[in-house]
Amino acid sequence: MQLHQLEYFLAVAEGMSFTGGARSLHVVQSAVSSGVRQLERELGTDLFVRLGRRIRLTPAGEALVPHARAVLAGVAAAKDAVDGVRGVVRGTVVLGTLTHVGPIDTADVLGDLHAEDPGVVVKLRQTTQGTRSSLEDVRAGVLDLAIVASPTARVPGVILQPLHTEPLVFICSERHRLAGSTAVSPADLAGESFIDFPEGWGNRMAVDAAFEAAGAERTVQAEVVGFQTAVELVQRNFGVAFVAASVLDRHPASGLWTVPTALEWRLQLARSAAREPTAAELAVMRAYDRAYHRAAQGPRGASRTER
């Protein structure tokens, strides 16, 4: 059993595609297919059920996944130990991120990381399913690290490093009946049509929890996966929404009425509790910590309200 065979196997298992696995590893598909077949012969069992262009893991393949990840993590730890003696930080980090990460620019963070630790390679994966999915991927080892908007400070199987907290702001059109209000409560919003993210996104969880605690119901008229889309729909008076304050700092929008709330949007960096972070992961964690610390020291930016 060779290390590259385990790498090929995991790449295919994570994307359920030989083509996608080869692309993620920057090797030809024939090499990946051959490596997996050889691994199956050595283990004496099929790891994938091949259904034309579709594949799925066999029970043996599912059993192998955590062990393959543990082997490769052990190899990475060994390399870290040797590099540490030489004063070198290198490695690849699969990093999950959200569509909006508050007051910082991801490109700036990655540029800072490259200047500080040029041997660290980051594979960035922007979630399309939200915080809940990212936390599951961190636990499963699909992601090494993930920026999440968990409304809680503790999640089983995951260690969360606080990065940034900001208020969620209620927004409505200037033509809306609540325009001119200085405060809103769940009771005030009964019967309103909301623009919100799908279930499983951190900001949705925070708002849902507030309404549940108040014993109030709400109707989500449309689900989006970007704050800017929510803002544009609210501008057209399609509904109301709660958005992170930094969205309006970075993209001031006309035609909106904004109301501060006590609800918070918490960004945290998640890593698995099952193992120690690699040197490369620690370098990424430091880069994000520096970026959010600088943002906290700077000015708030543009006004959040244009009336």
| Tens-digit pLDDT profile for residues 94-137 | 999 998 999 988 988 999 999 988 989 899 999 989 999 999 99
- Provide the pLDDT for residue 305: 36
Answer yes or no: is pLDDT of 266 > 90.
yes
- Provide the pLDDT for residue 105: 87
Structure-model confidence comparison of residues 82 and 211, the more confident one: 211
Answer yes or no: is pLDDT of 306 > 60.
no
pLDDT mean across residues, the chain: 88
| Tens-digit pLDDT profile for residues 137-183 | 998 888 999 999 998 888 999 999 999 999 999 999 999 999 999 99
| Tens-digit pLDDT profile for residues 14-30 | 888 888 888 888 888 89
Note the helical H segments in the chain: 3-15, 18-25, 29-43, 59-86, 106-116, 131-140, 202-213, 227-235, 245-250, 279-297
| Tens-digit pLDDT profile for residues 43-78 | 999 999 988 778 999 999 999 988 888 888 888 778
Taking 3-state DSSP, the helix, strand and coil percentages for the chain, each rounded to the nearest 5, stand at 45, 25, 30
| CA distances for 128 relative to 102, 210, 211, angstroms | 17, 24, 25
What the block records as the tokens of 239 is: 């509904």
Its pTM stands at 0.75
302 — pLDDT class (breaks 50, 70, 90): very low
> Which helix (H) or strand (E) is 183 found in, with range?
none
| Tens-digit pLDDT profile for residues 190-201 | 889 999 999 999
How large is the average pLDDT for residues 292-299?
80
Percent with pLDDT over 70 in the chain: 95
Percent with pLDDT over 90 in the chain: 59
Q: For the chain, where do the domains classified as CATH 1.10.10.10 start and end?
A: 1-67
Answer yes or no: is pLDDT of 301 > 60.
no
* CATH 1.10.10.60 holds for 1-67: no
Q: For the chain, where do the domains classified as CATH 3.40.190.10 start and end?
A: 164-265
CA atoms within 13 A on the CB side of 164: 25
The domain defined by 164-265 folds into: D-Maltodextrin-Binding Protein; domain 2 (3.40.190)
